[in-house]
Amino acid sequence: MVLIMALLVPNMGQAATTTNERPERPERETGNRGQRAERLSTSSSARPAFICSSIDTVKAKILGKFDERAAKMETKKEDRADKPGRDARKAKLAEGREQRETQREERYTVMRNKATTTEQKAAVEAFIASVEALVMKRQAAVDVAIETFETSVASLKPTGSETLEAQKAAAKADIEAVFAAVKSNCTDSSSGEAIRAEIKSGLEAIHQKQMPEKDGSKKAQFEALRAARAATVKIALDDFQTGMDAAKATLKNGFQKPVI
């Protein structure tokens, strides 16, 4: 889960800047310097307390942003689940095979009607048997290629058992821990800039922790699997075509008139 929440950290800096680093305005009345010094002293003693208390405000904003991003990710996950997947592809493949089987049966009927002699009828039946055997062999090879590819691709995906909900809970717990530590470390001498840096460092650590590891070799492995599947399917199609050419030649010989 990608956590780009450090964008909210400047809010902490803004709060600190407006509270701790506000330029002093000159007093209009020069005779009240003692009151001015007293006000500055009181204001300075209140600044650290305000900075420390604003940590909870920043945390609330970041957790709110986190929940928004998590909701968007959940929506994207549901959208992907709605797209046709493995079962849909298998159903489409099975549907195509049924259609081609129907077309073959129609051609077989035409061929049987054309066969008039015993030799021709035998040649047609032999041809039909050869074609069906070739079709079954081709389908089996294609099925093995597809299954091998899908199983191998599944093995390349992350094997962690954590669900999205578990990842979200872990990330939020880490965020809570970061802000608890920052608040615990906040003292009268803390500055807005130091607190902002501590928050940013903690959130960046969470971001790196949640980022999935990038493995460039997986892309190469995936491409290799695709190539292997394509090669296996091509061999199956080539073998089928070779067998069909031989079956057609035998059928043609069965329809030729014997030489007297």
**What residues contact residue 53 under an 8 Å CB cut-off, 6+ apart?**
none
At residue 259, the pLDDT reads 45
CA 121 to chain centre: 57
pLDDT value at position 106?
97
Burial category of 42 from C-beta neighbours within 10 Å (exposed 0-12, middle 13-18, buried 19 and up)? exposed
**Phi, psi for 257 (deg, rounded to 5):** -70, 140
**Residue of 19 and 105 predicted with greater confidence:** 105
Using a pLDDT cut of 90, give the percent of the chain over it: 35
For residue range 124-167, what is the model confidence (pLDDT) as tens digits?
999 999 999 999 999 999 999 999 999 998 887 755 445 667 77
Q: Are 172 and 63 in contact (CB under 8 A)?
A: yes
Highest mean pLDDT among 79-83, 157-161, 186-190: 186-190
Cβ atoms of 94 and 206 within 8 Å: the answer is no
Report the greatest alpha carbon distance in the chain: 140
For residues 119 and 255, give the distance between their C-alpha atoms in angstroms, rounded to a whole number: 8
* Mean pLDDT over the full length of the chain: 78
Q: Are 149 and 228 in contact (CB under 8 A)?
A: yes
| 3-state DSSP of the chain | CCCCCHHHCHHHHHHHHHHHCCCCCCCCCHHHHHHHHHHHHHHHHHHHHHHHHHHHHHHHHHHHHHHHHHHHHHHHHHHHHHCCCHHHHHHHHHHHHHHHHHHHHHHHHHHHHHCCCHHHHHHHHHHHHHHHHHHHHHHHHHHHHHHHHHHHHHHHCCCCCCCHHHHHHHHHHHHHHHHHHHHHHCCCCCCHHHHHHHHHHHHHHHHHHHCCCCCHHHHHHHHHHHHHHHHHHHHHHHHHHHHHHHHHHHHHHHHCCCCC
CA–CA separation, 212 and 67 (whole Å): 19
Rounded to an integer, what distance in angstroms lies between the CA atom of residue 52 and that of residue 182? 9
The tokens for 243 are 């067998």
pLDDT band at 84 (very low <50, low <70, confident <90, very high): low
Q: In the structure encoding, which two tokens stand for residue 67, read together?
A: 């929940």
Question: Of 143, 138, 127, which Cα lies nearest the Cα of 238?
Answer: 138
